[in-house]
Each structure stands twice: as structure tokens, then as C-alpha cells.
Amino acid sequence: MKSILKKELNSFFGSPIAYLVIGVFLLVNGLFLWVFKDNFNILNAGYADLNSFFYLAPWLFLFLVPAITMKSFADEFHIGTIEILKTKPITNWQIVVGKFLACLLLIVIALLPTLTYVYTIKELGNPKGNLDTGSLLGAYFGLLFLASSYTAIGLFTSTLSKNQIVAFILGIVISFFMFYGFDAIADLLTNSNYYVRYFGFNEHFKSISRGVIDTRDLVYFVSITFLFLFITKTRLENE
């Protein structure tokens, strides 16, 4: 598994993919949070918090995570290296988990520079240093769990086609439905709409972001991640 992880990371950083994903994520966040004079601008909000960032990041991940994962298996199928990979002394689970961890690690690397936002908010607070540490930690954990679910979905869609663009689009569509689709359906219903929302990523992400780590939210994200990784492994076995 370590060899797969190392191979994938070398592939990311040996091409423009890693730098482009990290750069776009930081640039878009920086522009909306600090430059553009809109509702997301922290300096114009009148209070020091990172709610705008934690609202924007899941939507950015909807596009950036599939961009990272789209080549994971689609490229292997396209150029025929998947057969060589299967002959190595590693299991299909190790192949899937190795690629999953490499993609997730890249997302973590993209998130690390945003910790400077936390320091900035701490300095801007009145009184200085006034931070809700619990909700900040919860929101970051929520982003990581959300990113892991997006990554598992992206890996699955990359097994559905040899075309990376098709894998990219399918990854966006499924991730979008899981994040916002159940909320949209709930808005159309008059009864039991809470239970419908509970099936979606957004409800659980918002719950964790409040700073209260509920085991039900953790089990939900871990289950979704495992489910899509298992389906990916099954697809790999059937190819």
C-alpha cells in the first residue's frame, strides 16, 4: 500500500495537478474571503469568524476532489497499466486504499495554508484572541470527513470510464447529489423533511461544524466512505 501511496503522490506532484488544485483552492478562497466586496468577505462582516470559509470549502471540494481522483483508475484502464498493477504482490484493497490516502493527503496539504486564516481571525477578534476553538476544530474535522467521502466517490467514478472527463463529471454529479440533493428534496416536502436531510452530507457536516462531535455523524461519513471504497474494490475485481 505504501508503494501505491508513494506512486500516486509522485504522479500528483510530478505533474501540474497538485499545484493547480492547491493553487485554485487557495486563490478562490482568498479572493472571496479577503478581496471581493461580497457577503463572504470576512473584513466586511463586522465579526471575526470563519463561517464564510466553511461555507465555501465544501462547494469548492465538489469540483476539486473529482479533479484529483478522475485519473486514479480511468488512466490505469486507458493505458492498460491496471493489469500490471494487479500482478503486483498487493491486494485490491491495498490498491484502492493507497490511492484513496494519496488523494486525501493532497487535500490535507491544500487545507494546511488555511490555518493562517485562523491566526488572522484570532488577531482581528475583539477582544484579541477571542476564538471559538471547539467549533473551529469541529469544522476542520467536518471538512476532512466530507473530503474523504468525496474522495471515495471520485475513486468509484474513476472506475466507471476510461475517459477522465467522464469520471470527473460523474464524480461532481454524485457528490453534488449527496451534499445538496437531499436538502433540495426535503425543501419540496412538507412532512419528515428532517429525516430526508439526514441522508445528505450537508446535514452531518453542519452538525460537526458546531463543535459537537456526534458519533452518529462520524459513523455516517465513515460508512459512506467505506461503502464507495468497497464498491470501487468490487469494480476493480470485475475488470
Confidence of residue 178 (pLDDT cuts 50, 70, 90): very high
pLDDT at 174 over 80: yes
Q: Are 152 and 145 in contact (CB under 8 A)?
A: no
Every domain of the chain and the residues it spans: 2-238
Amino acid sitting at position 111 = L
- Write the CA distances from 51 to 62, 145, 228, integer angstroms: 18, 17, 29
> pLDDT tens digit string along 82-140?
777 777 788 889 999 999 999 999 999 999 999 998 888 877 766 676 677 778 888 89
Q: Tell me which H or E stretch contains 127.
A: none
Task: Write out pLDDT tens, residues 206-239.
Answer: 888 887 778 899 999 999 999 999 999 998 888 6
Do 77 and 164 touch, CB atoms closer than 8 A?
Answer: no
**Using the 8-state DSSP alphabet, how is residue 40 labeled?**
T
Q: What is the pLDDT of residue 77?
A: 84
How far is 85 from 182, CA to CA, in rounded Å? 38
pLDDT of residue 154: 96
**pLDDT the model gives residue 141:** 92
Burial label, 165 (beta-carbon count in 10 A; 0-12, 13-18, 19+): exposed
pLDDT in tens, 143-173: 999 999 999 999 999 999 889 999 999 999 9
Reported as a pLDDT band with limits 50, 70 and 90, residue 191 is low
Tell me, what's the pLDDT at 175? 95
Task: State pTM to two decimals.
Answer: 0.92
